[in-house]
Structure 1
């Protein structure tokens, strides 16, 4: 790994953290495209790397801040956490069998759909 790559990773991590803490986004919207376009990772590797860095210790401080301000619904979080665990496991098994090109296009379509929904919703 070069010093440039390390600096780029630091910038991407800070950007994802700032956006994650501010808007609740970062991993999928910032990091996956950055890992693909800046570092040349495959869609599969970018997704796996993103899931790996978002393990619970990474989100602890942001969650703590939101909780202190009364902005965490622990019941919802628990249900989402358990079902996310199951869904992520099943999804990773499924994704492993999808060709990288198709997976990347599906990811792009999902981002586009979400963006259009946000832009044009009331």
Structure 2
């Protein structure tokens, strides 16, 4: 049952464009016996259908500027290749710490950026 709840909330966050991995990866780590590598691998697989679903809705509502999206896609693919090669060569504990630090700084950024824009 917990996997369904994690998946549901991860899907909602993905649909909002925030990134379902912020829910899915910690959820899998805390509530299963998966390693950080396996949780991140599952996150990448789950990302495909949820992203396609959200993409159709955002494309239909004209929320995508292709002129801006294509350069980001190309450089993102290069970054994903480099990042995945780094991730498979880092031990699970270090990867977990890097992910936690990333989430921490993104939370601080979102909190202060959103607060200062109001």
Q: Give your verdict on TM over 0.5.
A: yes
What range is the shorter-chain TM-score in? 0.7 to 0.9
Report the TM-score, using the length of structure 1 for normalisation.
Answer: 0.82
What is the distance in 1 between the residues matched to 2:94 and 2:68? Answer: 32
Is the deviation greater in 102-111 or in 7-16? 7-16
| Contact 2:15–2:50 (Cα < 8 Å) also in 1 | no
Matches of 2:72 and 2:108 in 1, distance apart?
A: 24
CA deviation profile, 1:79-119 (whole Å, cap 9, x unmatched): 22222222112111111111211111111011000111111
Mean CA deviation greater in 27-36 or 83-92? 83-92
Contiguous gaps of at least 5 residues in structure 2? none
Distance 1:119 1:111 in 2: 12
CA offsets per residue over residues 21-40 of structure 1, 9 Å max, x none? 23x12332011111111112
* Unaligned ranges ≥5, structure 1: 1-6
Q: 2:96 aligns with which of 104, 110, 115?
A: 104
In the TM superposition, structure 1's runs of 4+ consecutive aligned residues that sit over 3 Å from their partners are none
Q: Which whole-Å CA distance do the structure 2 matches of 1:77 and 1:112 have between them? A: 27
Q: How many residues align?
A: 114
Match of 1:28 among 14, 21, 28: 21
> Is the Cα–Cα contact under 8 Å of residues 12 and 31 in structure 1 kept in the other structure?
yes
**1:48 matched to 2:41:** yes
